[in-house]
Amino acid sequence: MARSLFRPLAAALALCLVLAAAAQAAPMLPDFRELAKQSGNAVVNISTEKTVQAAENPFNELFRNMPPGTPFDKFFDQFEKFHGRQQRPQKQRSLGSGFIISTDGYIVTNNHVVAEADVIRVNLQGASGKSNSYVANVIGTDEETDLALLKINAGNSLPVLHFGDSDKLEVGEWLLAIGNPFGLDHSVTAGILSAKGRDIRSGPFDNFLQTDASINPGNSGGPLLNMDGQVIGINTAIIASGQGIGFAIPSNMAERVIAQLRAEGKVRRGWIGVTIQDVDEATARALGLGEPRGALVGSVMPGEPADKAGLKPGDIVLKVEGDDVSDSSQLLRRIAALKPGDTTKLTLWRNGQTKTVNLTLGERTAEHLTAQRGDAAPEKSGKEQASAGLGMSVRPVSAEDARNLKLEEARGLLVVSVEGGKPAAEADIRAGDIILLANLKPVNTTADLTKVIEQDGKKRGAVMLQLMRRGQTFFRTVPLE
């Protein structure tokens, strides 16, 4: 009798324990209802319209080239009468998202949502669920970060969202995305922060937040919110072939850009006038740095701020204003975030020692980013020589080479051929490249290069070559066995 009573009691106790555990676990799961309710009204749907030329009728070329007096004249006359020869403008429409950042109607979205649009309409969702439409004006756009600021006149009591601190985000935090995917108004999706600092090669300042919250076409420009209802990202990009992989512009970058667009209608960025690249392990060894860090200066543009401050090719920028620089992308973003005309302090690695320089920033412009010169293919000559086991043949640059390659003077070594599978090929050195420096020493003869490799390179296990290719200078490091 006692045993028969014990079994139901044990089962009841086990059930109570399971329910208690479930009750304790339940609060750990996020509830997005209040967050979606409080934030949703500040999210807007954006529709744009622009006029584009329709593709020309495929028969038009045939019309133009058809000789007169053929049996088909009457047919083509009738075809032209009904279909026409001329291109006719058509209306192209697109959809996106955005969010309100001020009670008087300033709205953040992506540049690609509104680029080249003739008409931009913003649809607000009222408290009753009814949508109100307003024509928006573009205050400013920034193509390099894909951000835009709009303004509507809809009174002075609009709901708003505020930016949070994206630097404080940690991978695994819960996030909420609100937007207009495929035209489906105010869709809410949730996920976590999957990664930070993603470079998807969409622009020079890529530093995206990655999330598995569902993002689709039409979500562009909408907010990515943390659990406090703060905007920590602007949903911008997806990988079309992937699922659960979306990218958002970090709020700390966006907030700075939007503030400039609101104040000046454009973004002004700092500029120092160098080409830069990452420091790999072989380069760090070649320069005695110890570990890969910082940004390697590939070339210094004459007359630009870096030149005036005394920076040299081969310098490694380790810090800006005392803050560590991990790679070239971080240096680019750090300098661009500073104002033209400001003075900044750079910590450099040069000749095995740290050095500090003060530099007055210039302003980054489109002209700075355009390559200025082309190149010509080198002609082979009987004078080339192999270069100390690197797997390439080189010869001194002649006066004729300098003219063909549009060089200011004949200096350096011309790479005539590169052997596949050898160290030079593995380091992406190509025929037609010009070697200007080896471990920061000028090389104008094959003997110069051999001397650097034998005396300096083999001791450090690598040789760093400054190359010129298509008018641009940069470094490649060749490991030595």
Distance CA 465, CA 421 (A): 18
Distance CA 97, CA 261 (A): 19
| Cα angle 344-345-347, degrees, rounded to a multiple of 5 | 145
pLDDT of residue 447: 85
Its CATH architecture, for the domain 270-369, is: Roll (2.30)
Reported pTM: 0.70
Distance CA 416, CA 384 (A): 7
Distance CA 268, CA 31 (A): 41
What is the DSSP-derived secondary structure letter of residue 378? Answer: P
Structural domain boundaries in the chain = 39-151, 166-264, 270-369, 385-479
Is residue 162 flagged as an active site residue? no
Tell me the helices (H) and strands (E) count for the chain, helix number first: 13, 28
pLDDT of residue 374: 33
pLDDT of residue 349: 96
Task: Identify whether the C-beta of residue 309 lies closer than 8 Å to the C-beta of residue 258.
Answer: no
pLDDT of residue 195: 96
Which of 39, 97, 112, 166 is catalytic? The answer is: 112
Is residue 104 flagged as an active site residue? no
Find the DSSP H helices in 173-304.
251-264, 281-286
Which of 146, 315, 327, 433 is catalytic? The answer is: 146
| The CATH homologous superfamily of the domain defined by 39-151 | Trypsin-like serine proteases (2.40.10.10)
Right CATH number for 166-264 from 3.40.50.720, 2.30.30.30, 2.40.10.10, 1.10.150.20? 2.40.10.10
Which of 166, 220, 299, 328 is catalytic? The answer is: 220
* Protein fold of 385-479: Pdz3 Domain (2.30.42)
- For the chain, report the end-to-end CA distance as a whole number of angstroms: 84
Q: Do 39-151 and 270-369 agree at the fold level?
A: no
pLDDT of residue 375: 34
pLDDT of residue 344: 96
Is residue 112 flagged as an active site residue? yes
pLDDT of residue 383: 46
Distance CA 224, CA 239 (A): 17
**H or E element at residue 237:** strand 231-238
Distance CA 374, CA 203 (A): 23
pLDDT of residue 94: 85
Tens of pLDDT along the chain (481 residues) come to: 455 555 665 666 666 666 666 556 555 678 999 999 999 999 999 999 987 665 555 555 544 455 555 555 555 555 555 555 555 677 778 899 999 999 999 999 999 999 989 999 999 986 555 678 999 999 999 999 999 999 999 988 999 999 999 999 999 999 999 999 998 989 999 999 999 999 887 888 889 999 999 999 999 999 999 999 999 999 999 887 778 899 999 999 999 999 999 999 999 999 999 989 999 898 998 889 989 999 999 888 889 999 999 999 999 999 999 999 999 999 999 999 999 999 999 999 999 999 999 999 999 886 655 433 333 333 334 344 555 568 888 888 887 777 777 777 888 999 888 888 888 888 899 988 999 999 899 998 888 898 888 888 888 888 999 998 888 889 999 988 6
Task: Identify whether the C-beta of residue 178 lies closer than 8 Å to the C-beta of residue 223.
Answer: yes
